[in-house]
Amino acid sequence: MFAAAQTIYENGPKDDDTPGWRYDGSHLFVSDSFAVSGGTSTISGTSLWVLIFPTDHNPTAEVTITSQPNSGTVYFDQTLQFSESNCYAAGWGYNWCVETASWANGPALSNGTYWVTLKNASLPSGAPVFWNQNAGMGCHSPGCPSQAEGVLGTIPSEAFTIMGSGETDRGTAATNPKTSSIFMFGGGFAGLAGMLRRLIG
């Protein structure tokens, strides 16, 4: 189903030099805005770049589509199994991977701005999962770059695609893997070591 879907919205390719925000556990979430701009579209899937341990695969996560960041009118709310592809080493013992989920009977959304939220991600190991922060660099969809919110408030937006039917295919963003220097801390953000010291100091 997902392979045949069109790209409704994309927020640009992954940023290898910038880490991401956690969306696992009971209190962490990441919400990004996206636009529907070509008439009513039925949303049927999403894909995103994540930072994950090489021994972990295919996390589950709750995906919601709402009128406000992690709140407001709820158009979609399901816990989904993601499947991974395009994994490669990111450094510091982590992998970059594309995680994709698709679903049936998704919401039909008219033109406007909506929010996709990921939260309650889970792996059998209990390890964290990070959604890559790209600030919408390289995005091409109307309405991009996305706005984003997390447990700390406003944050730069993430690398993701919303899939569905009812609009002209906007294409998918390409990515060129490159070496990056990654570090992690448990408060929700994985970042460069200097950024870590600033954030917790």
Q: Which domain holds residue 74?
A: 2-169+183-200
pLDDT value at residue 189: 62
121 assigned to some structural domain: yes
Give CA separation, 139 vs 9, 34, 148, 175, 193, in Å: 9, 11, 15, 12, 27
- Could you tell me the pTM of the whole model? 0.83
Nearest to 97 by CA among 31, 156, 177: 177
- Percent of the chain exceeding pLDDT 90 equals 76
pLDDT tens sequence across 22-53: 999 889 999 999 999 999 999 999 999 999 99
Question: Residue 2 pLDDT more than 70?
Answer: no
Q: What is the DSSP string of 167-180?
A: S-------------
pLDDT band at 185 (very low <50, low <70, confident <90, very high): very low
175 assigned to some structural domain: no
- In angstroms, the CA 41 to CA 38 distance is 8
Q: Residue 198, class by beta-carbon neighbours within 10 Å (0-12 exposed, 13-18 middle, 19+ buried)?
A: exposed
Give CA separation, 31 vs 130, 138, 150, in Å: 13, 19, 6
Average pLDDT, integer, range 179-199? 41
107 assigned to some structural domain: yes
Question: Residue 200 pLDDT more than 50?
Answer: no
pLDDT value at residue 92: 79
Helix ranges (H only) for the chain are 193-200
DSSP letter for 144, please: P
pLDDT value at residue 188: 67
Phi, psi of 146 (to 5 degrees): -65, 155
Q: Residue 182, class by beta-carbon neighbours within 10 Å (0-12 exposed, 13-18 middle, 19+ buried)?
A: buried
131 assigned to some structural domain: yes
106 assigned to some structural domain: yes
178 assigned to some structural domain: no
177 assigned to some structural domain: no
- In angstroms, the CA 196 to CA 98 distance is 25
pLDDT tens sequence across 110-152: 999 999 999 999 999 999 999 999 999 999 999 999 999 999 9
Q: How many structural domains comprise the chain?
A: 1
pLDDT tens sequence across 44-91: 999 999 999 999 999 999 999 999 999 999 999 999 999 999 999 998
pLDDT value at residue 55: 96
174 assigned to some structural domain: no
pLDDT value at residue 195: 35
pLDDT band at 5 (very low <50, low <70, confident <90, very high): confident
- In angstroms, the CA 32 to CA 11 distance is 9
CB-hemisphere CA count at 13 Å for 144?
22
pLDDT band at 166 (very low <50, low <70, confident <90, very high): confident
- In angstroms, the CA 25 to CA 18 distance is 22
Average pLDDT, integer, range 167-182? 36
